Chains A and B, each alone.
Chain A
């Protein structure tokens, strides 16, 4: 893992306990670059792969799982090349993003099949344990084709865990899961990480990554925008300049009042609203009402205008 808050272009030194190593990995499809010169090392624990849709997270995960060949650079897992190395799958568990499962198998048969394909000595017992872990005992004898999205997701996780892998790769694992299932799966992943498992999961939802990942890799437009401890990354995201759109009974007077506020560094007066720029999100949201009251102006709207994940990521890339 690179230092907290470090950025693309910095070559990380190989970590002594690195389970996953990427060195200058790029992947392109024709003229389209999906992943661009990414390097990092990952050890045991939970790492979140965060980025907007289309950022290259799935491409990265597919390269980690040996399903995509890097166009350049190298991907090694447990010291071996991930590409064209089926033996590695004995130690890797993979949860793909697509929700497809064999519809003609029951949930139980799906996991038992996975255990048999892994060559486990007691596939039935291993499947029972994995099904118990994801709390699917109640539905295990139903055809998997009729499962809800969340149940399919848990089934896929059970199949990926059945051989007790030391590396678990999950592509958007919480898609379709309800809040209770989400919490249950997160607890399970935390336990596995505590036991030494290396878990990498992708998500485009900041809160999911915040709740689960100790480390985070932020991928934007195929590049590693930031990597390191989640709190550091989060701080960078929170401390960035924020823009608010404000409507009031007297925009001109309110603009003058905001200019004097230390949390504000820019105010623009438009036709019927103000655009206010602040470097301190929390301080400004606390001060806005007081400033308006002191200026004897009625606030009718106060809304952040750049809070999309894409704008947060864009900011990180520009840094």
Chain B
């Protein structure tokens, strides 16, 4: 890791307009949790606070939408925006191993994503479950999304090194693969970061399968997440080491 690369990347992410979009996205689940807490009947046998939190708030909004979008925005911006605007040359023309640059970028993208998504998860969860037992749901999902953010940002960082259309391809991946295909075909869930998050959350929480029933075990989810993380990071390091900057002329 390189302190100056971390500082520079953090300032870069904060200065971007996209960060404002992420903050607006994060307000969605918080608002929904507040509305639910204020208006919904709390003792409905078919839709308990725990079910609402685990399924709608976390499953759909946070894990299904906020986490991948936030990771996509920070993951592709951490290095991709510098490549796009031509400032990457200042970083890459320094006597710093490319591996160090990439890991520093990944750390910042992950911390930025986690700061927003984990905070939203905890606050929205506590609000939605106010007056009901948490049974480890909030903790489970907080840990799960932190892990998911790491895997997602590594994948999207790699994507930004492979293509100039990382944002569009990343969006397609989130909405087509993660939302559609893994929902339709059980076998594809081993390749879904979303399933890893739910698997970890399910492993930590103590709620009944009626509330949360992941298709992957916690151990399996962690193993697969680690495999994707290591694979994507190693490939990204390799990609950056052989990264070319050229102009016609």
Residues of chain A having any CB pair with chain B under 8 Å: 29, 34, 53-59, 62, 65, 67-69, 84, 86-90, 92, 94, 96-98, 100-105, 113-114, 116-119, 159
Contacts and interface: CB of A to CB of B under 8 A. Distances in A.
B248 A62 contact: no
Contacts, number: 85
Given A117-B96, A159-B90, 14 more contacts: A54-B248, A59-B249, A67-B93, A67-B244, A68-B244, A84-B242, A86-B96, A87-B95, A89-B94, A97-B247, A98-B89, A113-B4, A118-B95, A119-B95
Interface in B91-107: 91-98
A94 B88 CA distance: 12
A153 B87 CA distance: 13
B95 A88 contact: yes
B245 A104 contact: no
B11 interface: yes
A54 B247 CA distance: 9
Contacts of B12: 102, 104
Interface string B3-38: 011001001100100000000000000000000000
B247 A62 contact: yes
B85 interface: yes
B187 interface: no
A114 B95 contact: no
B94 A117 contact: yes
A103 B245 CA distance: 20
A53 B248 CA distance: 9
Residue picked from B15, B93, B244, most chain A C-beta under 10 Å: B93
B136 to A, nearest CB: 41
Contacts of B242: 69, 84
B16 to A, nearest CB: 9
A100 B89 CA distance: 10
A128 to B, nearest CB: 18
A116 B95 CA distance: 11
Contacts of B241: 84
A101 B247 contact: no
A92 B93 contact: yes
A62 B89 CA distance: 10
B131 interface: no
Contact of B245 (A62, A86, A105): A62
B158 to A, nearest CB: 19
Contacts of A69: 242, 244
B133 to A, nearest CB: 46
A68 B93 contact: no
Contact of A86 (B87, B89, B97, B246): B97
Contacts of A67: 89, 92-93, 244-246
Contacts of A89: 93-95
Nearest to A65: B93
A205 to B, nearest CB: 14
B83 to A, nearest CB: 11
Contact of A94 (B4, B89, B95, B96): B89
B209 interface: no
A105 B4 CA distance: 13
Residue picked from B86, B89, B245, B249, most chain A C-beta under 10 Å: B249
Contacts of B4: 113, 116-117
A87 B93 CA distance: 9
A114 B248 CA distance: 26
B86 A58 contact: no
Contacts of A57: 249
11 contacts: A59-B249, A62-B245, A65-B93, A67-B89, A67-B92, A86-B98, A101-B90, A102-B87, A104-B15, A114-B94, A117-B4
A67 B98 CA distance: 12
Nearest to B247: A58
Contacts of A117: 2, 4-5, 90-91, 94, 96
A89 B90 CA distance: 11
Contacts of A90: 95
Nearest to A59: B246
Contacts of A102: 8, 12, 87, 90
Interface string B96-134: 111000000000000000000000000000000000000
Interface in B52-78: none
B95 A58 contact: no
A104 B87 CA distance: 12
Contact of A68 (B8, B90, B98, B246): B246
Contacts of B91: 117
A57 B248 CA distance: 8
B86 to A, nearest CB: 4
Contacts of A96: 86, 89
Contact of B249 (A29, A53, A92, A116): A53
A29 B244 CA distance: 12
A165 to B, nearest CB: 10
